[in-house]
Amino acid sequence: MSTVVLDKVSKVYPGGFLAVDRLSLRAEKGELLVLLGPSGCGKSTLLRMIAGLEEITSGDLWLDGELANHLAPRERDVAMVFQNGALYPHRTVRGNLSFPLEIAKADPLLVKERVVELAKALHIEETLDRRPGTLSGGQQQRVAMGRAIMRQPSLFLMDEPLSNLDAGMRTELRMEISQLVRALGVTTIYVTHDQVEALTLADRVAIMNRGVLQDIGTPAQVYNDPATAFTAAFLNSQQLNLLSPEVRTPQNEYVLLDFGMQRLILPWSDPRAYAVSKYTGGHIIVGIRPDGLKPVPESYEGPSFYGRVRTLEYHGHEWMAYLEAGLPAVPVPQPPDPRHAAANGHAGKGAWKFMRRLFPGRTAEPPPEQHSDSQGLHRRADLIVRLGSQPVWRVGENAKVGVDLSRLLLFTMDGSRVDPPRR
C-alpha cells in the first residue's frame, strides 16, 4: 500500500495552460483521500500525473518513498477507474474481471474462485456471463471497480467513477466503495466535484480551485474550520452567506462588525477578536452558514440581525428563508487566474451576443453588470436562514435572526482566514 507524496507538482499543457500549480500533498498508506473541486480545476490532470498518463512539468512525485516522475504507468502499481468504466467489450463480465489475473498467469482455479467471490461482493454475480454492452451503467461501474480490485494494486486512482449514475445508485455504490477500499486497505485517491460524496467518503478531503490546493483536512475540519472562503462556499450545499462588514473598535471596548444598518459585537473575550481587530478601519468577509442562524423572538437580546422575509423555500426535510436585511454581501473571492488573463473580460457579453443572433427577439437583455467599488461592497443579497422542519415565519413578515457567533467564519477580502484554522 503506497504512500503518495506530491511536492510542488505543476502541469503546463502544450500551449502554456497552467492546469496544476505547485501542488503539494501527502496521502498516507491505506488512506482514502478525496480530491474535490469545480469542473476544470485540474483534478483529472493531477490524478493522471500520479498514474503516469500525463507528464509532470515540474515538481516531484514520490510513491512509497521512491521518486516516480519517470516511472512508466505499469511500474507504478496503480489501478485507475474512470467515469466511463472502459471495459473490454468483447469479453464477458467474468472475462473482464479475470483479465488482470490471467495476465499475471495466476492459477485458473484460483482465478475462478476470486472472480465469483468479488462478483458477489459487488452484487453482479448474475451478470458474470454477459457482455458489458448489456449491463446498466451502475453494473458497468461495478465491473470496472472489480477489475481494478482484481489487480491488487498498491494504489487506487478513481476519477468520478459514479458521476454517470442516478442519485440512488450513487449513494449505494458510494457506500460499497467506501467499505471495499477500507477492507482492502489500499491507498485510494478519489476525484469528485460532488461535496456530499467527498464529505461522506473521505478520510481526508483536498479541495482544489484553478489548479491550486485550497485546503486539506478531515471532512469535519474542512467543513467546520475551512482555510479559505472558497472552501467554505464550495462545501455548502446551500448558499453560504458572505457578508462584508467594516471592522471598528470603538474606544477599544470591543470589536464591532459594522454592516451599515446592522452590527454585531465581538467581545474581547472572543478568541478571534484580537485577530479581527487588526483590520480596524478596513473590511473583512464574514461567512455564515444558513444553519448558523436561527429564528428568535423579538425580545431576544443576543447577537442578531433583522430582516423582512422575502421567500420561503421548502426542501422536503427543511425550510429555508430568504430575508431582505440590507446587509453588504460579496461574491466568493477567487484567486487571480493567470491562466485566462487574456480571454476573460468579454466572454460573458460575447455569449449574449451569440444568443441574440441565434434567437433574435427571444433573448432578454444581458443582466446589468454589478457596479461595485474595488471591494465589491455595493451588492445586497438576501440573508439565507435554515428554519428546520417548520416554516415558522410568513412571507412579508419582519423577522429577527439569532447569530451563533462561534460559527462565524472570518476571512480577509482575498478569501484567506483572519484567524488561522485550528488544526
Ligand X SMILES: Nc1ncnc2c1ncn2[C@@H]1O[C@H](COP(=O)(O)OP(=O)(O)OP(=O)(O)O)[C@@H](O)[C@H]1O
Instruction: Name the site residues for Mg ion (rule: CB under 5 A).
Output: 44
Q: Which amino acid is at 127?
A: T
Is there binding between residue 210 and ligand X (CB under 6 A)?
Answer: no
Please tell me whether residue 56 binds ligand X under the rule CB under 6 A. no
- Across 193-344, the runs of DSSP E, i.e. the strands, are 204-209, 212-217, 241-243, 246-248, 255-258, 263-266, 285-288, 293-295, 304-314, 319-324, 328-329
Q: Which of 2, 45, 127, 209 lies at the binding interface for ligand X (CB under 6 A)?
A: 45
Q: Which stretch binds ligand X (CB under 6 A): 39-47, 119-127, 325-333, 396-404?
A: 39-47
**Which residue lies nearer to ligand X by CB, 54 or 404?**
54
Q: Does 206 bind ligand X (CB under 6 A)?
A: no
Q: Is 293 helix (H, G, I), strand (E, B) or coil?
A: strand
Binding mask 9-28 for ligand X (x = CB under 6 A): ----x-x-x-x---------
Do residues 324 and 310 lie in contact, with contact meaning Cβ atoms separated by under 8 Å? yes
Asked if 39 touches ligand X (CB under 6 A), the answer is yes
Q: Tell me which residue has its CB nearest to Mg ion.
A: 44
Does residue 273 sit in helix, strand or coil?
helix
* β-pairing verdict for 204-209 and 32-36: parallel
Are 9 and 25 in contact, with CB atoms under 8 Å apart? no
Q: Which of 7, 10, 40, 363 binds ligand X (CB under 6 A)?
A: 40
Supply the minimum distance, in Å, between the C-beta of residue 45 and Mg ion.
Answer: 8
Residue spans of alpha helices (H) in 151-236: 167-184, 195-201, 219-224, 229-234
Least distance between ligand X and beta carbon 21 (Å):
11
In which residue are the cell numbers 419582519 written?
Answer: 398
Rounded least distance, CB 197 to Mg ion, Å: 14
Give the residue among 173, 221, 224 at the shortest CA–CA distance from 194. 173
- How far apart CA 256 and CA 301 sit, in angstroms, is 16
- Give the separation between CA 49 and CA 24, rounded to whole angstroms: 13
Shortest Cβ 24–ligand X spacing (Å): 17
Minimal distance, residue 12 CB to ligand X, in Å:
9
Nearest-approach distance from CB 16 to Mg ion, in angstroms:
20
Residue range at the interface with ligand X (CB under 6 A); choices 43-51, 290-298, 304-312, 393-401:
43-51
Smaller CB distance to ligand X: residue 37 or 100? 37
Q: Of the ranges 33-41, 174-182, 314-322, 347-355, which one interacts with ligand X (CB under 6 A)?
A: 33-41
Q: Should residue 50 be labelled a site residue for ligand X when binding is judged by CB under 6 A? A: no
Residue 190 is which amino acid?
Y
Q: What is the dihedral of CA 302, 305, 308, 314, to 10 degrees?
A: -80
Rounded to a whole number of angstroms, the minimum distance from the CB of residue 43 to ligand X is: 4
Residue 41 partner contact from Mg ion, ligand X, none using kind-dependent CB cut-offs of 5 to 8 Å: ligand X
- Choose, by CB under 6 A, the member of 23, 34, 41, 143 that binds ligand X: 41
Q: Tell me the C-alpha distance between 278 and 258, whole Å.
A: 15
Shortest distance, position 34 Cβ to Mg ion, whole Å = 13
Number of residues interacting with ligand X: please give it, by CB under 6 A: 13
